[in-house]
Chains A and B, each alone.
Chain A
């Protein structure tokens, strides 16, 4: 049981290039999330998905796109990379958040460190 895996671990992009950050989970979670963490800041939600074929924007979606064709995979696409997208990107997954009183947590991958120069 690998949990949440992310590839690549590191990447340097030139301004204007594009790339896809891969995320896969093997826990059969319906909910998946992409966050970015800038230095000295908390994690901010980019996009999330509540199941295959269903995605929605988070707090900071500009410059990114996602798709969810399977339960396991939730890739994040960067088009026309900009220096402001230099960050560490984390993918997470969870079961349905449930109702009041039920326990709930998100499981995180190890992150992708992206530098845009």
Chain B
């Protein structure tokens, strides 16, 4: 049973515009959420995270929003750049009971075109 869902397998955005990647989760015990970026033939690299005690976290061009009541989070990239083209994974953790285990979504392929 998929506890973290990314329902859009792909997203295409023009350079300079906003990219919005969405993620839904089902486990109300999740208390920490992360976004990872993955280029082909490389391992995932950490991008940004948010704790369940916050509803927004910002780091440069990247902002993550968390809506706990809807069990939904989103990653905003503004402005989008061609180098942002990659697969983005949403991940969640219930750190208290699962010792930091991450549950991953299936990923969204972002393509930023000039």
Contacts and interface: CB of A to CB of B under 8 A. Distances in A.
Contact of A99 (B9, B42, B45, B95): B95
A111 B95 CA distance: 25
Contacts, number: 77
A97 to B, nearest CB: 3
Interface in B36-64: 36, 41-46, 49, 51-53
Contact of B44 (A43, A97, A103): A43
Contacts of A100: 31-32, 51-53, 95-96
A105 B101 contact: no
Interface string A66-101: 000000000000000000000000101010111111
A96 B107 CA distance: 26
A2 interface: no
Q: Size band of the B side of the interface?
A: 20 to 34
A42 B23 CA distance: 13
Interface string A30-73: 01010100001111110010100000001000000000000000
24 contacts: A31-B99, A35-B104, A40-B9, A40-B106, A42-B103, A42-B105, A43-B104, A45-B102, A48-B99, A90-B43, A97-B93, A98-B95, A99-B96, A100-B32, A100-B51, A100-B52, A100-B53, A103-B51, A104-B100, A106-B102, A107-B46, A110-B42, A111-B41, A111-B42
Interface of A: 4, 31, 33, 35, 40-45, 48, 50, 58, 90, 92, 94, 96-111
